[in-house]
Structure 1
């Protein structure tokens, strides 16, 4: 499949990462928000599921056209 833009390639790579990582014991949430709100969301996520206990982290992020940030947070499923 030819890629028309860098975003096409990034979208395909992100989808592949989600598919491969689906059974690795982590729960993931993906958000698309303005930069300031993205920071607040990531901080709240890490406060709710601390990294030391749930191995929580920002798994990936990228800036979209228009300045919004798309990012994926992950944590161990044992937090459920």
Structure 2
């Protein structure tokens, strides 16, 4: 069953996407390189960064590992 995302849901997705982009940029990684390191597709990384995809915790864990950070650190952003 698909549920409609609320404005709050979309805001959280945007904050996580922005955080991933920030960390990726700080490490000098392209979306392609992050996708290779995380065993994901480049399109998937792009959709997550643009808050177009409500991704799973497993995928976020792969991204955190590819960025060499803890999953916890992925969620350290200002609201």
TM normalised by structure 1 equals 0.32
Question: Higher helix share goes to which structure?
Answer: 2
- TM-score, reference length from structure 2: 0.32
**Which structure is higher in strand share?**
1
